[in-house]
Amino acid sequence: MTLISRKTLDLLRNPGFWLIVVLFVLITVPHYADAIGHPTFLNVLMSELGLTRNAFERILYLAPIVWAGFMFSFRGAFVASLVALGLMLPRALIFSTGRVDSLFETSAVFIIGNVLAITFDSLKHARERRIELEQAQTELQSSEQRYRSLFEDAHDAIWFQDMDGAIVACNAANARLTGYDKDELIGKNVKEFLSLEALDTARQVRQRLLEKSAGEIYDQRIRRKDGSEAFVRLSSSLIRSNGQPIGFQHIARDITEERRLQENQRHYLEQVTRAQEQERKRISRELHDDTIQSLVVLSRQLDSLATAHAEIAPEFKKRLEDLWQQCNSIMQGVRRLSQDLRPAALDRLGLLPALQMLATDTARFSEIPIRVNVSGTERRLAEEVELVLFRIVQEALRNVWRHSKATAADVMVEFSDSKVRICITDNGNGFDLPATVTDFAKEGKLGLAGMEERARLVGATLSAESHPGKGTKIMIEMAA
């Protein structure tokens, strides 16, 4: 069934269509049937109104035209007016005695019918438009009310500021965050809450927002009304009107307790690490000053015993030489253990000589060539920083030796005016990295997790790059 057929069926099923047909029939039959006669009262009425019967019937044709306009819009009225014109023209041209007047009346009915249809159709559309606007306004007011409720009841502090930094609107959470009442905050400049460092951060964020318009998420420090400090995580975005920036929207979450917990945890880790290093240093010193010295004495005694008495049986002498070699081997192992616990070169000479010795020792017992390269102007760092960096490199080289199956490794130390960067690379089998560095522990990479924790203790950042079969790169970067 075609589209036209479906429309025709829908039209034929519409009662309004048949009402228009009936009206045309009821008007047209008496319009052409003067012979059957009209009721007398109708003739009297027409004469009193100054109309002929045919003129009155032509006026009646306006009824189906207007009704078609209501039912089927202007297109229906136009079709109905054409039908009315077709029904009136034969009467005006053939049967009417006053042909000019009849044609004028017929044309007037056609024109007036279309004008009325257009007028009513416009009024109908205007009424529908008004209803739509009223509904849209109601929905807008409802949406605005819902947004206002969300805005006012939000747990996070939300405020809007103009381009000069003056607060123009804020919710109740701002009072909890800053200690100021809402009325006090309106008109207050955000600069009053920021230190010089925080203000510099805000200016940088403002510049980035103006350049790219994308939102920014960052941590900021603010001053409360009572003078205390609060840490917030800010989500800032630029507000535009007609393409021009008019202000900024900020959503702030109070992370003061979270930051304090992190600082307490960092302090705890620092104390644990410091105590651990002190214990390493004590054990290393005792191994060097006591155990190794005792092994040296024992080695000399065995050597003296093996060489001082010529009458010793050869098999017994061979046994003494084996013991002497075992003693020396144990002494070398203890010395290496002491060196791993606390390299003396780190305290006496600094980070770079300690890394050179570490690379040399690791290459010797792992049989993996390891090169240490330095660029930039060498300088000493704080004792705690050098110790942490040494431990990270030590753990990285231990991973190269134990897990990577590499045939070569490099340690690159770069000094710049404001940063120190250390890269440890190998050509081993590599591995799949977790999504973030903090997921090392979840993935069972405890060595990498420990390296990342140590880096954070001194404000450094640790990143890793690795792919199966393509080696691994560990990079530590920090301001210095």
Highest-pLDDT range among 120-124, 289-293, 307-311, 462-466? 462-466
Q: Cβ–Cβ contacts within 10 Å for residue 334, how many?
A: 16
pLDDT given at position 214: 74
Q: Flag whether 150 is in a domain.
A: no
Question: Which residue's entry shows tokens 């009721």?
Answer: 39
pLDDT given at position 36: 44
Q: Reply yes or no on whether the pLDDT at 336 is more than 50.
A: yes
Residue 366's contacts (CB-CB under 8 Å, 6 or more residues apart) are: 400, 401
Cβ atoms 152, 172 nearer than 8 A:
yes
Please tell me whether residues 123 and 17 are part of one structural domain. yes
Please tell me whether residues 125 and 207 are part of one structural domain. no
**pLDDT grade, residue 123 (50/70/90)?**
confident
**pLDDT grade, residue 425 (50/70/90)?**
very high
206 vs 299, higher pLDDT: 206
Residue 160 burial by Cβ neighbours in a 10 Å radius (0-12, 13-18, 19+): middle
Alpha carbons 121 and 67: distance in angstroms, whole number: 11
Residue 40's contacts (CB-CB under 8 Å, 6 or more residues apart) are: none
Q: Flag whether 101 is in a domain.
A: yes
| Of 282, 312, 342, the domain-final residue | 342
Helix (H) or strand (E) holding 339: helix 314-341
Cα-only R_g, the chain: 48
Please tell me whether residues 128 and 23 are part of one structural domain. yes
Q: Would the pTM of this model clear 0.75, i.e. be above it? A: no
Please tell me whether residues 448 and 370 are part of one structural domain. yes
| Of 231, 254, 277, the domain-final residue | 254
Cβ atoms 62, 77 nearer than 8 A:
no
Give residue 19's domain range: 3-141
| Of 221, 254, 287, the domain-final residue | 254
Mean local confidence (pLDDT), 38-66: 60
pLDDT given at position 64: 79
Q: Report the sign of the C-alpha dihedral through residues 282, 284, 285, 286, in that order.
A: positive
Q: Reply yes or no on whether the pLDDT at 443 is more than 60.
A: no
Nearest partner of 323 among 302, 294, 308, judged by Cα: 302
Q: How far is CA 131 from CA 29, 137, 188, in A?
A: 41, 10, 43
Q: What is residue 349's three-state secondary structure?
A: coil
**For the segment 225-248, what is each residue's pLDDT rounded down to a tens digit?**
888 888 999 899 988 888 888 899
Report the CATH number that the domain containing residue 360 is assigned in CATH: 3.30.565.10
Q: Flag whether 236 is in a domain.
A: yes
Percent of the chain with pLDDT over 90: 8
How many alpha carbons lie under 13 Å from residue 294 in its C-beta half-sphere?
Answer: 6
Q: Reply yes or no on whether the pLDDT at 204 is more than 70.
A: yes
Give the range among 29-43, 158-172, 199-213 with minimum mean pLDDT. Answer: 29-43
